[in-house]
Homo-oligomer: A and B are copies of this chain.
């Protein structure tokens, strides 16, 4: 038996856990400056790089604030961050074991309203492809999406038969984006939404709006309306 533990070293996860313990136990209270890396390395009997890795991890998690020369201090208000996976509808539905259905409602090339152009940082009156579609989960309406696509950024989209392939899946697979904006909110269902989702007009609908970019070039803007009752969940 070589050893009773996987590895004799005081690893970076141990260091992280110990630091976390001290933060939670208020041994390092909010706002306090903690010992520097070299000291902790000595105390814990490990290399400074190990301490660095541990503290960097906690800093990324939002619990510590680090500045060169300034040292490391416990953040005053431990603001939590939740990471939420942006669902590709088709996969989200299939992951739940449901059958994914898709229906194209409308597809049209035309000049976009000023608001959309502004949001996408395009000149007014730019011609965009508008696609409205419905996603089904086991046959029931699940998500109604209203999308504007910039054909300058994605010329190939014009040749795709969007009645067969949903724009969401196609874009994810075929266009690399560098950045995105996300907005979550709630709206009352208007006639188009109520009709598509088969719910009463005025129903409270959860919406997710996204804009994706490659560099400074906008690719697409989409607003997805979820059927009433939908909840987006995650842990933090």
Which A residues form the contact surface with B (CB < 8 A)?
23-24, 30, 77-86, 88, 91, 172-173, 176, 179-188, 202-207, 209, 226, 228-236
Q: Which residues of B contact A182 (CB under 8 A)?
A: 82, 84, 233-236
The winner among A24, A80, A188 for most chain B CB atoms within 10 A is A80
Kindly state the separation between the CA atoms of A179 and B83 in the bound complex, as whole angstroms.
13
Cross-chain contact of A186 among B91, B172, B206, B233 (Cβ < 8 A): B206
Task: Indicate how many identical chains form the complex.
Answer: 2
Q: Is A30 a contact of B173 with CB atoms below 8 Å?
A: yes
Q: Is B185 a contact of A230 with CB atoms below 8 Å?
A: yes
Known: A180-B235, A205-B186. A77 touches B88 (CB 8 A): yes
Q: Which residues of B contact A80 (CB under 8 A)?
A: 85-86, 180
Name which residue of chain B comes closest to A78, CB basis. Answer: B172
Q: Which residues of B contact A77 (CB under 8 A)?
A: 88, 91, 172-173
Q: Is B173 a contact of A188 with CB atoms below 8 Å?
A: no
CB A31 to nearest CB in B, in angstroms, measures 11
Cross-chain contact of A236 among B86, B172, B184, B234 (Cβ < 8 A): B86
